[in-house]
Structure 1
């Protein structure tokens, strides 16, 4: 193995660690919410404002990530992302005033969003990118599994601010790893969006995109086809044509809405399940924290297991999503109707298991919803809108918990599952033949 291969493998491993860290950061929030509510003496709806400020920062990162990576390169973009996250986490560890606690979520969201964008962009340029990206997002689930365990354990002997101090230290270690382990520029000599590099990048003619590129090129010249597509894409991007086209596409709009509802359900349950188990089922904070870890464990397990099993039995990706959505609805209904602590805890694991494959599958079918050139833009729009759902729906769940009772969490989840079923049916009707 050459030195460059070793460095690349190290950078991939570090990307997995970084995404696990992002998962930990996302999952500790639900465990910390009761302590933060008590500390600041605010209600569920008020603390839910942080969902909006975090999402605002995350969306801002999505808008600016491409420009930053083009100007700074991969390594400095990752360092900047880590620095933003570490600064926000350290400030929260000081227990700031509530208004500042809400405001600093913008910086935290920006650091998180830029970190995710940069790592996805880096791995997308490597060989076997699809495999690498699937594993990358699976490691988010691993971190989300560990996060509640860490937070629940630390809350047993330390204030909630100590959790953010721990995350600050971990992020500083990641920053050092980014500086040492990543190249200044992305593979192939440049970051995304540089047509000079796109023009000479070979096309994989074994896949659908490669076949269409070869068909569009004179005499089957796939490289020439790539040059033509690159020039056209650069022209469309310069005029805002791709973004406008994505926003005008009913299929992309539906898929974006689907992901917004999905993320709202996933994050809503993840954030409020601890409060649900404590208030409705009389569980201790430690036991509830462990149960929510089971929810994230089910999410991770579903992403690892359901797709291979479905492929083995001959179930399509769209059919798998239908089956999973039905499983989500049935499980939410079961937890709601059978008010037994053991059923609630086991049901959360099952709920996470069925939720797991939905996000990756929605991303995987994008090439069947739009043209090849539109795929990256469509995915960007879907990601951005999904973050909005991750703010709005958890806030709605918190407002319902405060105004009516936290028992509303499961009928809330059931309602969102039904909405997703309707949206998925509309999306499938707009897919091109595979």
Structure 2
């Protein structure tokens, strides 16, 4: 498929990831209003994080089967529809139990969108650059979300924020129906097998027979390439959200910075993440660097930035946080882009879902562990913990790079 033919669905993908980013960005801003509205404390409102994550993981591990049976168009339409319906229901201010359960549907819709769009873009020419841009637009949405929610809360309730977000999802659902291809099959495909386009970064593994009498999910979970990719994203998201969630507290409590400066520093971290996804992959492509070399360079930059943020004076540490985000940026989308080179073509949709689920689990477990360590050893322990995770990324990436090298 030529990019010119793929351009409308790619643009819709970018818009969808902006909306997903807005969804993440507004959550923290809305929590105080939601707590006041329902008369609950932080521990109680925190239940929505578990239900939302459960919905996302369920979607991630089932999206591959959904795409294989119904096609990418129907899968994305279903995910977008679930997102819109959950948002509209939240806008009615349902009873608290229903509010919590609605997060399950919202998480499911978000998970289908993220996994499905990663699957589609991973099969296009220039997938590495396109996926970096896709995830960069998530960062754009995450930057837009907080000020948008704060502005609306200045004159309306939190339910209006959800009404606006849900309404923004309606044209996207229409875009999925109009722009994306229907289910395709060829004479050599097994019934329901997805079409996986060639990726120019290098040839993928030779097609293998469809697993007989064995589910795609079971096969993907046992696949070495999928296991490595999942481990990479598990650790990566632990670094990203460990810094994103606890970096502010570290700067204020361990470094003694004013809250406003710490806030700007964390905003710089997220801005750096977005810019890294827009800039690093195209620069690497122009320089002729391989995917493996680009990620090795990013991992070195991540490690150096964490060390600088930990050991340097406060002013340098603030700059290091931005650089940390910049070098982190390409790791997640690039790992998604190489999935067709890590596993069998037929397993790609399911593999991406499994990797997304691993990322969600890592994004919950490792920041929790970081917080627990900081609670017992002091907030100054955050960056040594994150530094250990960055070194673990090197250990996981090495066998992935070796697999890529054998297929280049």
Same fold? TM cut 0.5: yes
Match of 2:105 among 104, 107, 113: 107
Q: Distance in 1 between matches of 2:236 and 2:142?
A: 16
Q: Distance in 2 between matches of 1:83 and 1:374?
A: 25
Task: Give 1:110 deviation, angstroms.
Answer: 0.2
Does residue 1:393 correspond to 2:393, yes or no? no
Aligned to 2:214: 239
Q: Which structure 2 segments of 5+ residues have no match?
A: none
**Per-residue displacement from partner, 1:273-307 (whole Å, max 9, x unpaired)?**
455556663324xx766544432221121122223
Q: Which structure 1 segments of 5+ residues have no match?
A: 214-228
Q: Distance in 1 between matches of 2:227 and 2:69?
A: 31
Aligned to 1:349: 322
Match of 1:383 among 352, 356, 372: 356
| 197 and 69 in structure 1: CA distance in 2 versus 1, 3 angstrom threshold | closer
| 418 and 107 in structure 1: CA distance in 2 versus 1, 3 angstrom threshold | same
Instruction: Say whether the 8 Å CA contact 2:125–2:199 is kept in structure 1.
Output: no
Give the CA RMSD over aligned residues: 4.1
Does residue 1:268 correspond to 2:226, yes or no? no
Aligned to 1:87: 85
Matches for 1:313-328 after TM superposition, within 5 Å: 313=287, 315-328=289-302
| 13 and 352 in structure 1: CA distance in 2 versus 1, 3 angstrom threshold | same
| 278 and 47 in structure 1: CA distance in 2 versus 1, 3 angstrom threshold | farther
Match of 1:359 among 312, 315, 332: 332
Q: Distance in 1 between matches of 2:156 and 2:118?
A: 35
Secondary structure at the counterpart of residue 104 of structure 1: helix
Please say which structure displays the higher CA radius of gyration. Answer: 1
Matches for 1:186-265 after TM superposition, within 5 Å: 186=183, 189=184, 195=190, 209=203, 229=207, 233-234=209-210, 236=211, 238-240=213-215, 243-265=217-239
| 392 and 327 in structure 1: CA distance in 2 versus 1, 3 angstrom threshold | same
Instruction: Say whether the 8 Å CA contact 1:25–1:147 is kept in structure 2.
Output: yes
TM-score (norm 1): 0.73
Task: Give 1:357 deviation, angstroms.
Answer: 1.4
Aligned to 1:53: 51
Aligned to 2:259: 283
| 315 and 190 in structure 1: CA distance in 2 versus 1, 3 angstrom threshold | closer
Instruction: Say whether the 8 Å CA contact 1:146–1:293 is kept in structure 2.
Output: no
Q: Distance in 2 between matches of 1:75 and 1:81?
A: 10
**Per-residue displacement from partner, 1:232-277 (whole Å, max 9, x unpaired)?**
533x16423x655543444542331121111122233334445555
Instruction: Say whether the 8 Å CA contact 2:133–2:277 is kept in structure 1.
Output: no
TM-score (norm 2): 0.77
